[in-house]
Chain A
């Protein structure tokens, strides 16, 4: 008694057990982060508050409408989605100070100095029958236009692309090229 040695536990199967667990986690895992288009909704107007005529000058607003057949209308004329980006860029930058395009306001920006900031607002209107895909496509074009303008501004002033700038410089660019997209109150846009 007592002389018998306890046999060593065979550990070669721990690898198998670990493999089983590994396979389980491999199957259930969902990698990849979620991506999307970030937006801020306007707050709901108070009940007793009258819907005021917003004092936005006509030249400062571009209305982008999508109807139920996913057709697009920007600034009063039908347009293809592929031309929308250029139109928005022209609208927001107004390179030749066209009196029909938005005016610019010299605004002081903290840490940068004064620079002209466009007062242009993009108003996006859609029909209840518009497909979500078309809506996202248009939203995407609008963001793309603004991102390109920001890149141009960043290149001109800091010599780098917008995303490669440090955070404080990014804030300056964001103030110089604001993202003014208004998702207007829902209304039915021509069912024709």
Chain B
């Protein structure tokens, strides 16, 4: 019966954890490549409206953002709860849009300027008045390609 001898002395070899770091590094690189830092602080609360027929923003590097919505809680004491326009990092008025568009245009390369797109990030409860003002100002600056940002709803 030596065939069925129990060999208790044999040990299960430990799993090598040497490749663990490689796996983690792979994940790390994936997230490092796909990540994009938020470069501006949100000073207005934007809850995007929903739409079903949305299209993707093609070139993120050619987009400039105009945020419109009520100021966040920390700024409400200073600016009230009425909808405001945020460009880059501060509250602005419609008259500042011209300079903003000019600055964004300058930052682009010559060939890309015609493809510039302005993304309007409007809160869903904002009134159209302020958005119409923004649109008129954009027309005056001949920044005609715009996109109303919206969430895809199913």
Number of A-B pairs, beta carbon distance below 8 Å: 145
In angstroms, Cα B132 to Cα A137, docked, is 16
Tell me the complex Cα distance, A11–B25, Å: 14
Contacts of A34 in B (CB 8 A): 56-57, 60, 63, 119, 149
* Interface stretch (choices B2-10, B45-53, B95-103, B105-113): B45-53
Chain B 122-154 near chain A by CB (<8 Å), digits 1 or 0: 111111110110011011101011111111100
A44 touches which of B38, B142, B145 (Cβ 8 Å): B142
Complex Cα distance, B125 from A12, in Å, reads 53
- Please, how many residues of chain A have a CB less than 8 angstroms from a CB on the other chain? 44
A130 contacts across to B, CB distance below 8 A: 127-128
User: Is the C-beta of B28 less than 8 angstroms from some C-beta in chain A?
Assistant: yes
B124 touches A30 (CB 8 A): no
User: Is B12 in contact with chain A by the CB < 8 A criterion?
Assistant: no
Which one, B31, B56, B119, B122, contacts A26 given CB within 8 A? B31
Q: How far is the CA of A19 from the CA of B128 in the complex (A)?
A: 47
CA distance A25 to B32 in the complex (A): 7
Top 5 A-B pairs, shortest CB-CB distance: A128-B129, A35-B54, A25-B31, A36-B149, A133-B124
A sample of 27 cross-chain residue pairs with beta-carbon separation below 8 angstroms, ordered by A number, consists of: A11-B21, A14-B21, A15-B17, A15-B24, A18-B21, A19-B24, A22-B28, A30-B36, A34-B119, A35-B56, A35-B150, A36-B57, A36-B150, A37-B148, A38-B145, A39-B146, A41-B144, A43-B142, A128-B129, A131-B128, A132-B49, A132-B124, A136-B49, A139-B51, A140-B52, A140-B53, A186-B136
